[in-house]
Structure 1
Amino acid sequence: MDMDDVVDLLDALLDGVTEPRLKLISADEARALMVLLGVLEGDGQPEEIRRAAGDMRYRISTRLA
C-alpha cells in the first residue's frame, strides 16, 4: 500500500465515522484506535497522513468526551 492509498483510506474512514457507527465500537477500542492514529501523526509521516490522522483523532475524542 503506497502513501496515496493510506491517505485515501484515512479520508474514507474519517468520512465514515459518524456517531452511530462510532457507538458500534467500545470505548476501549476507540482509545486503542486513537493510539494507533497517534503513531500516524508522528514526524516520520507525510503531512497528508499526519493531518488526516489528527482530524480523525479529534473527531473520535470529541465523541468519547
Structure 2
Amino acid sequence: MEDVLDLLDALLDGVTEPRLKLIGADEARALIVLLGLLEDEGQPEEVRRAAGDMRCRISSRLA
C-alpha cells in the first residue's frame, strides 16, 4: 500500500500547471470528490492523510 501512495504522490508532484490544465475543471473536481471518499474513517490513517494532501494540492492548483 505504501508503494502505491508513493507512486501517486510522485505522479502528482510531476504534474505541472500546463499539464493539469489538460484535465478540465469538472474532472479535477471529480478527482477531489473521489479522494474525499478515501478520507473516510474506515480507511487507514496513511491513506486518509495522503488523500487529504492530494485533495489540497489539486484544489490549490485549480484556484
Q: Smaller-chain TM-score range?
A: 0.7 to 0.9
When the two structures are superposed, what TM-score results if normalisation uses the length of structure 2?
0.81
When the two structures are superposed, what TM-score results if normalisation uses the length of structure 1?
0.79
Q: Provide the C-alpha distance between the structure 1 equivalents of 2:24 and 2:37, rounded to a whole number of angstroms.
A: 20
Q: Provide the C-alpha distance between the structure 1 equivalents of 2:11 and 2:52, rounded to a whole number of angstroms.
A: 12
Give unpaired runs (5+ residues) of structure 2: none
Q: 1:30 to 1:16 in 2, by over 3 A?
A: same
**Deviation >3 Å, runs of 4+:** none
Give unpaired runs (5+ residues) of structure 1: none
Contact 1:14 1:55 in 2 (8 A): no
Same amino acid, percent of matched pairs: 84
Q: Provide the C-alpha distance between the structure 1 equivalents of 2:61 and 2:9, rounded to a whole number of angstroms.
A: 18
Aligned to 2:30: 32
